[in-house]
Chains A and B, each alone.
Chain A
Amino acid sequence: MRSFEVIDSHVLVIGSGGAGVRAAIEASFSGDTVMVSKTIAGKGGCTTMAEGGYNAVLRETDSCEDHFLDTLKGGAYLNDRELARILVNDAPGRIADLLCWGAVFDVTGECEVAQRPFGGQRFPRTCYAGDRTGHEMMMTLLDRLASTDVEVFNEIAIIDLLKDGDSVAGAVGLDEKGEIVIFRSDATVLATGGGSRIYDISTNSSSGTGDGFALGYRAGAELIDMEQVQFHPTGAVYPYDARGRLVTEAVRGEGGLLKNIEGERFMERYDPERMELSTRDVVARSIATEILEGRGTKNGGVYLDVTHLPRHQVETRLPVMLEQFLKFGVDIRDEPMEVAPTAHHIMGGLRISSGGETSVPGLYACGEVTGGVHGANRLGGNALADTQVFGRRAGESAGKARKRSISLDEGQIDLQERRLAAFYAGEVNPATVARSLQTAMWEGAGIFRTGSELEKTLEMINHLSTLNLKAANRCNLIECCTVQNMLTTASLVVRGAILRKESRGAHVRKDVTQAWDASNSPYRHTFLSLCDEGIETGVWE
């Protein structure tokens, strides 16, 4: 083994999104904390991109019980009850932290945080900073982080978690020059975000490749409900190369109307009561059906129209949308947008306790990489709250972890070195493999699924996993590791989907007829780990 740079800390946080930074801030109160991320902190991940808002109960007329019930109903009653309860109870406190640290949310004339309606919620409880809410949160979190002693390592990708016996004791990273960096820590927090980039059409940032699911899985952690992938109903369809780009739910929250090519407000046929503000799974399926049945536009979408709204409202409440579409030649004040579903959020992930502990000692997790909080379908605005609520909890628990002396497992590092060396000898461009995977996932494990197509997709993933990826130079090593992570994550999603023989929330099995609805389903979580997989049974009360 060569000698490597070894960075020791009490807590290691992997990922610099909303969850990671929040965890790092909290952990820093208990000991040396290091935060490492694949991108420059604040620039990577999906938090920065979040537009719509943050759900929290702030008004007398609203209640945490209502928020809890909305979350459960939206989540098709698959949510871990305790985690969902914590989410709604802690969300107001965590937004208060952000406001104290300088977050510039929109306020009302009475100097209260403004809230807007979002899909699937009985109260307008989504707090926002225009349509750049996540960005505002990230900027605020980074400000707060700057006043701690947290040491930040930018543009280093974690390629494996380090094990010391049964527990996680740090991680192996790869810097931008392709050099290995070892992080050794008493507690490690995984906050790597989601992975919907495994699909051909996705809203996620370049780091949404599911690295954390794969890292956790390989380290022995248990993951739940990986089949639950949210397809956001409104992704842009033009230009083709930028397909999938999110058109925020705030557009519908502000009053945007969905219409098919015939000009019909088709939501009337699917959910006449909630119409455009139905839950995402319902709206996504409705749009997909309209398109499948030939009532879509030439570019393969339906219309999302805000031209009836006052121009001023579009300009002040949806400035990012306005600007983005203008760049692509559409003035949304005068013409409708064209939208179609896009892979957005992975509800499943590492199983955690209320304190963010995973099933592996020494490993904590928070944010989109975890499962359970959102059940089978996430409400818009609940993910940003999730990052803060569980970011703080995971950071706190990790900070309290026992100090220990860690021996480096040279065998494991050796293994990583050999893994990297093999890439130089490989023959397949990782980009090509990623492309094939994304297409296969979109076609075989998308909005509508069947057992046989899922099996075929799994075969494809298994085949792709046997190919030897090629690194053209040092800088490509990270890409090779990333594509391997995508393959693992995709396999977890498909295996979960095969295990769940019911339609529930975002997961729709066309080949299964069921006699129950979500609230009295005989099934609970699907689970997957290196040593076991299956589906839990039993009706929740």
Chain B
Amino acid sequence: MREMTVKVFRFDPETDEKPHFQTYLVRVNDGARVLHALHCIKEDHDPSLSYRYCCASGQCGSCAVKVNGEPVLACMEEATDGMVIEPLDLPIKRDLVVDMEPYLDQIATLVPAEECPLPTQDVVEQIKPLRSCIECLACVSVCPALKVIDFSGPTAMRESLRLALDPRDTGDRVAEAVEDGLFTCTSCQACWKVCPKDIQIPGKAIERLRALANEKGLTLPRHQTVEKLVRETGRSVDRTQETFLEQVPEVLEPYGEVKGTVGFFVGCMYNNRLPRTALDAMEVLRRNGIRVIIPREQVCCGSPLIRTGQIDYLNTLKRRNIDAFVFRGIDTVMTMCAGCGSTLKNDYDCPFRVMDINEVLTKVGIEPPARLELKATYHDPCHLMRGQGIRTQPRELISQVVDLVEMPAICCGSGGGVRSGVPEEAAALAEDRRIEIEKTGADIVISSCPFCEYHIMEHTDKPVKNITTVLLEGYREKDRRKKEKEC
């Protein structure tokens, strides 16, 4: 037996004005799950506690709750001392019980044809992972899109793809999915990361549905424009100034001893829209002993096409990019755009290692910059945090130069083609970010993705800076102070 304290969200709408937390001391057996801690509270302390469960074995999807802020299945997640248990972010009925039915009702149902041809083994294998959903709604509870716009949500999209693939179904699922908000998904990956069944909804369902929509000519006009631009220029955004690639030589030598060499994949945004930031990054790399090789013939990674389901031209892009680095014998390619990094790591089969700049810098260990008298908050780019699992490294770098105040990690709305395709949604999500930024009281916002930086910049009056820019400012300050001393 083990003792642990558990803090539980309590709310009875009939008697309580507002929710409160209550702490209990529970005794459970070794290996007990969150559910068993709840049982213990109900049996030994407070029979009035309400929560749902049924199978107690991860199969029915009744018991999803938030533990320490993360959605989990209560029956599968191990109970830990000091844990905080809350309901999912869905309308609350009582204590930990949320109203699931309205969301379950959004999931389309199969309408069988007269003849019912069995799906082939190949189709069954494609459908099976989609069917393992237990409709726990963890994904729905974290989806940023459906909080601000009409969208049936991740699990509904999952089932729509299943229906679209199933030869027995008669509905026009792709058109319906478009109707239900297929293009409102920002590819933030939040749904996938909380799914107890590890269903990769954005990559395996939404992008596939978007590709099917593309075959049916249902791609949004603005996304088509992007595709055209990529085909014509190799870039997904047009040029407004001298590009990064036009400003740098093919090899940048470090200032001191060479600690390592990377090939640099710049990406469309840093090349065409924010070249200044990429140049700042180069300075930081050079100062820290990294030799950077920059193949000129690199093009768009293809992410804007993959995310929007326009994949015809993709293989050409992939080949050109891979060749550019392979030709120079590069074994490590560094990205600084979160989206490009996630794409190279997850959508490519690269014959070289791909590392984000935050990984590179923390791995070599940076020269300490001067501390700046600034309070900063950090916006986690979805494609960095969830797409590449990079969470601690940026923080490690930032806290060497400024004071960091955390805010919740939520999508800013710029991804998945939403910024161009559904601007009102992108703006609504950015507004939510603005509010969170305000709450932190920070002087500046730091991020590590050109899409996030560009988008948030438009919606807050605080300066938005890339991590490397802030580091560079730290170095400049250091140099200035040193010089001051010398004088």
B75: A residues at CB distance < 8 A: 242
With A49-B60, A431-B42 as contacts: A476 and B48 at CB distance below 8 Å: yes
Interface string of B8-22 (1 = CB under 8 A from A): 000000100000000
Q: Decide: B28 and A241 in contact? CB cutoff 8 A.
A: yes
Smallest CB–CB gap between B386 and chain A, Å?
A: 21
Binds A, one of B118-126, B179-187, B329-337: B118-126
Contact A328:B54 (CB < 8 A) given known A48-B60, A107-B121: no
Contact A475 B94 (CB under 8 A): yes
Given contacts A40-B100, A111-B121, contact A48 B132 (CB under 8 A): no
B168 within 8 A of A: yes
Q: Check B36–A241 contact: CB distance below 8 A.
A: yes
Decide: A43 near B62, CB < 8 A? Known: A111-B121, A319-B132.
yes
Contact between A39 and B127, CB atoms less than 8 A apart: no
Min distance, Cβ B124 to any Cβ of chain A, angstroms:
5
User: B101-118 CB contact bits vs A (8 Å, 1 = yes)?
Assistant: 100100001111000101
**B53 at interface (Cβ–Cβ under 8 A)?**
yes
Knowing A48-B55, A241-B31, A320-B59 are in contact, say whether A111-B120 is a contact too (CB < 8 A).
Answer: yes
Interface string of B23-46 (1 = CB under 8 A from A): 000001111110010010011001
Contact B55 A130 (CB under 8 A): no
Which chain B residues border A246 with CB–CB below 8 Å?
A: 57
- Choose one: B48, B56, B135; the contact of A475 (CB below 8 Å): B48
B30 touches A240 (CB 8 A): yes
Pairwise interchain contact A143-B127, C-beta atoms closer than 8 A? no
Measured between alpha carbons, how far is A471 from B48 in the docked complex, in Å? Answer: 9
Specify which chain B residues have a CB less than 8 angstroms from the CB of A99 in the assembled complex.
116, 118
Q: In the bound complex, what is the Cα–Cα distance between A479 and B48 (angstroms)?
A: 11
Residues of A close to B61: CB separation below 8 A: 43
Nearest to A39 among chain B residues (CB) is B54
Evaluate contact between A327 and B121: CB separation under 8 angstroms. Answer: no
* B166 CB within 8 Å of chain A: yes
Interface-lining segment among A134-142, A166-174, A354-362, A529-537: A134-142
How far apart sit A449 and B210, CA to CA, in the bound complex (Å)? 62
Compute how far the CA of A206 lies from the CA of B166 in the bound complex, rounded to whole angstroms. 33
Does residue B128 face the partner (Cβ distance < 8 Å to A)?
yes
Contact residues on B (Cβ < 8 Å of other chain), bracket = 35 or more
The smallest C-beta distance from A472 to any residue of chain B, in angstroms, reads 4
Check B59 against A49 for contact (C-beta < 8 Å).
yes
Q: Quick check: is B239 within 8 A (CB to CB) of the other chain?
A: no
User: B46-90 toward A: CB 8 Å interface, digit per residue (1/0)?
Assistant: 111010011111111110000000000001100000000000000
Q: Which of B39, B128, B134 interacts with A130 by CB under 8 Å?
A: B128
Q: Which residue in B50, B60, B135, B169 is a CB contact (below 8 Å) of A102?
A: B169
User: Which residues of chain A from 178 to 236 have a CB within 8 Å of any chain B CB?
Assistant: 205-207
Q: How far is the CB of B372 from chain A (nearest CB, A)?
A: 45
The answer to whether B57 and A100 have CB atoms under 8 Å apart is no
User: Would you give the shortest CB distance from B387 to chain A, in whole angstroms?
Assistant: 23
Q: Which of A49, A113, A144 contacts B55 (CB 8 A)?
A: A49
| Cα distance, A99 to B113, chains bound together (Å) | 11
Residue B353 interfacial (CB < 8 Å) = no
A429 touches B43 (CB 8 A): yes
How many Å lie between the Cα of A3 and that of B32 in the bound state? 45
Instruction: Indicate whether A165 reaches chain B with its CB closer than 8 angstroms.
Output: no
Choose one: B30, B58, B197; the contact of A239 (CB below 8 Å): B30
Q: Determine if A42 and B135 form an interchain contact, defined as CB atoms under 8 angstroms apart.
A: yes
Given A104-B127, A431-B47, do A242 and B56 touch, yes or no (CB 8 Å)?
yes
- B131 adjacent to A136 (CB under 8 Å): yes
Is A425's beta carbon under 8 Å from chain B? no
Interchain CB contact under 8 A, B48 and A472: yes
Closest CB of chain A to B263's CB: distance in Å?
A: 36
A101 to B100, CA, bound (A): 24
Residues of B within 8 A of A48 (CB): 54-55, 59-60
Tell whether, in the assembled complex, residue B124 and residue A104 are in contact, meaning their CB atoms are under 8 Å apart.
yes
Within 8 A of B (CB), among A312-358: 319-320, 323-324, 327-329
A466 within 8 A of B: no
Q: Which residues of A contact B132 (CB under 8 A)?
A: 130, 132, 319
- The smallest C-beta distance from B193 to any residue of chain A, in angstroms, reads 16
The answer to whether B54 touches A43 (Cβ under 8 A) is: yes
Q: In the bound complex, what is the Cα–Cα distance between A45 and B62 (angstroms)?
A: 12
Chain A residues in 8 Å Cβ range of B118: 99, 107, 111-113
Cβ of A459 to closest chain B Cβ, rounded Å: 25
Which residues of chain A are near B120, meaning CB under 8 Å?
Answer: 107, 111
How far apart are the CA atoms of A213 and B108 in the complex, in Å? 35
Check A104 against B119 for contact (C-beta < 8 Å).
yes
Q: How far is the CA of A43 from the CA of B127 in the complex (A)?
A: 21
- Asked if A147 lies at the interface with its beta carbon under 8 angstroms from chain B, I say yes
Residues A102 and B31 in contact in the complex (CB < 8 Å), given A44-B60, A147-B111, A323-B58:
no
Q: Which residue of A lies closest to B104 (CB)?
A: A40
Q: Are B109 and A143 interface neighbours, CB within 8 A?
A: yes
Chain B residues with Cβ below 8 Å from A44 are 54, 60, 62
Task: Say whether A146 faces chain B, with CB atoms less than 8 Å apart.
Answer: yes
B171 to chain A: closest CB distance in Å? 11
Minimum CB–CB distance from A452 to chain B (whole Å) comes to 31
The winner among B48, B100, B109, B168 for most chain A CB atoms within 10 A is B109
Minimum CB–CB distance from B199 to chain A (whole Å) comes to: 12
| A142 closest partner in B (C-beta) | B109
24 example contacts (A-B, Cβ-Cβ < 8 A) are as follows A44-B60, A48-B60, A49-B57, A99-B116, A100-B112, A100-B116, A104-B166, A105-B124, A107-B120, A107-B121, A107-B124, A111-B118, A112-B118, A139-B131, A143-B110, A205-B55, A238-B31, A241-B32, A241-B36, A319-B132, A329-B31, A429-B47, A432-B43, A475-B50
In the complex, the 8 A-B pairs of residues with the closest C-beta atoms, listed nearest first: A239-B31, A102-B110, A472-B47, A241-B36, A143-B109, A240-B29, A431-B43, A100-B116
Query: Which residues of A are at the interface with B, using a C-beta cutoff of 8 A?
Result: 39-40, 42-45, 48-49, 99-102, 104-109, 111-113, 129-130, 132, 135-136, 139-140, 142-144, 146-147, 154, 176-177, 205-207, 238-242, 245-246, 319-320, 323-324, 327-329, 429, 431-432, 435, 471-473, 475-476, 479
B interface residues with partner A (beta carbon < 8 Å): 14, 28-33, 36, 39, 42-43, 46-48, 50, 53-62, 75-76, 93-94, 100-101, 104, 109-112, 116, 118-121, 124, 127-128, 131-132, 134-135, 166, 168-169, 197
